[in-house]
Amino acid sequence: MPSFVNKVKNTIKKYNLFSENDKVIVAVSGGADSVALLFLLFSLKEEYNLELFVAHFNHQIRGEEAEADVLFVRRIAQQLTLPFIVKKRDVPAYAKRRKLSLEEAARDLRYKFLEEAAKKKGATKIALGHNKDDQIETVLMRLLRGGGSQGLGGMSPKRIIANGANIVRPLIETSRKEILDFLKQKKIKFREDSSNRETVYLRNRVRHRLLPYLERYNPRIGQILFNTAENLREENEYLEEIAKKAFSQVSQPPTTFSKGSRQGRKVVGGKKVILSLNKLTRFHLAIQKRLLRLAIKEAKGDTRQIAYQHWQSLNGLINKNKKNLFLDLPQLRIQKEYDRIVFVKAGKGKRR
């Protein structure tokens, strides 16, 4: 089915997903998407001069099935004579320990494994099998949960991660149906991803109920959400670029900060981020918000648990005419001292 392959090639070109001589970790669960991705990349191996590794994460969520998945993917790797990397982690135990949902835990450990594999093999890319339908569902879930304008862009076709390797999603513009047709046509076997179907409850409701319901309002809703996400992602990328440049103008160089306490609240070791209020407020509100976000991220490590009402309070702190104020947010203390706003990690600092 040349149209499928061409479509993926267009995506690869559009987002510049691969360069010559890329070493690629292909994440293969054994399900339709990742198996199609692997065979597709294998067929493009010569053309793009890629070195491929098959990586499989054994999540141990359902014992026997998980073992059968390992065998299945190993066999494909052998068949294609590609190196096979596998890692077993006890996801349910990790989830319990970290108080995460099974889904979050599996996601965390899977990405960690892929990053480690990339590092070990000196890989430049990690290829994931997410398709267009996954993207639409993701956008809709983020809309329901309040993902902000960052979240509404959905999953990025290409994203740089810590080690300098890139996450790439070559199937992000092809539909689930196109992928299944390709597999059928090529007589390629895959395994039903039972964990995916059962653990990801919200996604399934979105897929099987909400989307068909919204199609009654507009049969093209999926495509519309997809296009909207693309536009928002582009704009978000541009705004982040601007904010990052602005951040170095607005912030003082970060200083490390030893443990101690400030006005009765424990502050834990970490970066102390200082912004100039005068400089901050010279920027457009849209950029100001992003600068505050970057400051929180730098001080606290992430922006988890910071919700809409916290942003409101932070806004209040900035706009109040008092010269000395402080605000305690989850794991974070923010102090206004004349022209400075100081962000320090605080409280129970155990979660990363």
Interface residues toward a copy of itself, by CB under 8 A:
143-146, 148-149, 152, 202, 205-206, 210, 213-214, 217-218, 220-221, 224-225, 227-228, 231-232, 234-235, 237-239, 241, 284-287, 289, 308
Q: Give the E-state strand segments of the chain in sequence order.
A: 23-27, 51-58, 84-88, 125-127, 158-160, 166-168, 255-257, 260-262, 265-276, 324-329, 332-337, 340-346
Residue closer to a copy of itself, measured from CB, 213 or 278: 213
In the complex, what is the shortest distance from the CB of residue 233 to a copy of itself, in angstroms, rounded to a whole number?
9
DSSP, residue by residue, 139-208? HHHHHHHT-HHHHTT-S-SEEE-TTS-EEE-TTTTS-HHHHHHHHHHTT------HHHHHH-HHHHHIII
In the complex, what is the shortest distance from the CB of residue 80 to a copy of itself, in angstroms, rounded to a whole number?
35
Residue closer to a copy of itself, measured from CB, 92 or 147: 147
CB atoms < 10 A from the CB of 279, how many? 14
Residues contacting residue 4 through CB under 8 Å, at least 6 positions apart: 40, 174, 178, 179, 181, 182
Residue closer to a copy of itself, measured from CB, 185 or 227: 227
In the complex, what is the shortest distance from the CB of residue 118 to a copy of itself, in angstroms, rounded to a whole number?
28
CA dist 114 and 137 (Å) reads: 23
In the complex, what is the shortest distance from the CB of residue 237 to a copy of itself, in angstroms, rounded to a whole number?
7
Residue closer to a copy of itself, measured from CB, 228 or 313: 228
CA dist 7 and 170 (Å) reads: 10
Residue closer to a copy of itself, measured from CB, 190 or 226: 226
In the complex, what is the shortest distance from the CB of residue 219 to a copy of itself, in angstroms, rounded to a whole number?
11
Quick one: which of 265, 275, 317 has its CA closest to 296? 275
In the complex, what is the shortest distance from the CB of residue 224 to a copy of itself, in angstroms, rounded to a whole number?
4
In the complex, what is the shortest distance from the CB of residue 17 to a copy of itself, in angstroms, rounded to a whole number?
16
In the complex, what is the shortest distance from the CB of residue 206 to a copy of itself, in angstroms, rounded to a whole number?
8
Residue closer to a copy of itself, measured from CB, 71 or 286: 286
DSSP 16: T
In the complex, what is the shortest distance from the CB of residue 25 to a copy of itself, in angstroms, rounded to a whole number?
28
DSSP 251: B
CA dist 120 and 125 (Å) reads: 12
Residues contacting residue 272 through CB under 8 Å, at least 6 positions apart: 254, 255, 256, 257, 299, 342, 343, 344
Residue closer to a copy of itself, measured from CB, 11 or 60: 11
Residue closer to a copy of itself, measured from CB, 241 or 302: 241
CA dist 85 and 74 (Å) reads: 9
Residue closer to a copy of itself, measured from CB, 52 or 152: 152
CB atoms < 10 A from the CB of 277, how many? 16
